């Protein structure tokens, strides 16, 4: 075996090893922190536990989080919001929108650099003037300002918790979850977690386009299929961004 052949074999082995590592990373269970283990956070987190991920639930009522974790088995646990933020490779935030700025300030160090899925919606009746400003600018870019340093994805905000509970993994066309983010790798993680929860991801585009699925949009609070979401939002049947995340 000459030197050139040995070099080629070495490079081939290195590429195979690298591919194997990437494939393992794409399928290994994730550690997920849930800040706000109420109807939305508790429901989605429970679906992820059933899919094999490790989830730490947190809530203002720690006993509520402990009861939920105890009901889901050894892959679930409960902690404070700070502990959940530190625990997760990925963090899901499911709180009233007015709590988002405080979360960004209090847990900045724990959240820095992490993929954060933001489900919080600005509601005028509950969140006051900040909700009006967020709706005017668009929730995606507003949430990013409240949560600096994270790899933000808008997700899981258009479907009510009853549908999240009852329609997960349904037969036929699955319920769609629109996604928006500025970070391509964060989108890949979100796509995987949407699928693991039993839904169909629809990548709408960057955070600025999250405004398309804000409250009062044509798809808000509706359990629609991916085909219906794309049609109502004027997206191509499979947009290029979404197709790239699925390869």
237 falls in which pLDDT band (50, 70, 90)?
low
Residues 64-78 have pLDDT tens digits of: 999 999 999 999 999
Domain that includes residue 225, residue range: 29-246
Q: Can you give the CATH number for the domain in which 240 is found?
A: 3.40.50.720
Q: What is the pLDDT of residue 240?
A: 42
Dihedrals phi, psi of 148, to nearest 5 degrees: -65, 145
Please indicate, yes or no, if residue 78 is contained in any of the structural domains.
Answer: yes
Q: What is the pLDDT of residues 184-199, one digit of tens each?
A: 999 999 999 999 999 9
Nearest-angstrom CA–CA distance, 127 and 125: 6
Count the domains in the chain: 1
Residue 109 lies in a domain: yes
The pLDDT of residue 61 is: 87
188 within domain boundaries: yes
pTM given for the model: 0.86
Mean pLDDT of 173-179: 98
Long-range contacts of 183-187 (CB under 8 A, 24+ apart): 183/115, 183/151, 183/152, 183/153, 184/244, 184/245, 185/115, 185/151, 186/115, 186/151, 186/152, 186/153, 187/153, 187/241, 187/245
Element (H, E) at 31: strand 31-35
Q: Which of 94-103, 112-121, 157-166, 236-245 has the lowest mean pLDDT?
A: 236-245
Asked whether residue 19 carries a pLDDT value surpassing 70, the answer given is no
Indicate whether 1 pLDDT > 60. no
Question: Is residue 5 assigned to a domain?
Answer: no
Percent of the chain with pLDDT over 70: 85
17 lies in some domain: no
- In a domain, residue 190? The reply is yes
Domain membership of residue 6 (yes or no) is no
Q: Confirm whether 138 is domain-assigned.
A: yes
- pLDDT attached to residue 7: 33
Kindly report, residue by residue over 20-62, the tens digit of the pLDDT: 433 445 689 999 999 999 999 999 999 999 999 999 999 988 9
């Amino acid at each position: 075996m000459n030197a050139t052949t040995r070099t080629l074999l070495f490079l081939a082995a290195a590429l195979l090893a690298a591919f194997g590592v990437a494939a393992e990373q794409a399928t290994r269970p994730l550690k997920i922190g849930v800040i706000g283990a109420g109807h939305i956070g508790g429901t989605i987190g429970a679906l992820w536990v059933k899919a094999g991920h490790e989830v730490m639930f947190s809530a203002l009522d720690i006993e509520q989080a402990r009861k939920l974790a105890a009901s889901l088995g050894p892959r679930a646990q409960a902690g404070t919001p700070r502990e959940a933020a530190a625990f997760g490779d990925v963090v899901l935030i499911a709180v009233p929108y007015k709590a988002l700025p405080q979360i960004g300030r209090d847990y900045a160090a724990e959240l820095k650099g992490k993929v954060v899925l933001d489900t919080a919606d600005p509601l005028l009746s509950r969140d006051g003037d900040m909700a009006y400003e967020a709706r005017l600018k668009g929730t995606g870019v507003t949430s990013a300002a409240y949560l600096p340093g994270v790899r933000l994805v808008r997700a899981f905000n258009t479907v009510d918790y009853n549908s999240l509970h009852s329609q997960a993994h349904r037969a036929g066309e699955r319920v769609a979850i629109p996604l928006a983010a500025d970070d391509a790798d964060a989108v890949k993680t979100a796509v995987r977690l949407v699928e693991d929860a039993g839904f169909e991801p629809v990548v709408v585009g960057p955070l600025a386009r999250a405004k398309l699925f804000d409250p009062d949009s044509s798809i808000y609070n509706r359990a629609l299929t991916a085909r219906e979401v794309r049609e109502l939002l004027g997206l191509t049947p499979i947009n290029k961004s979404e197709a790239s995340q699925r390869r």
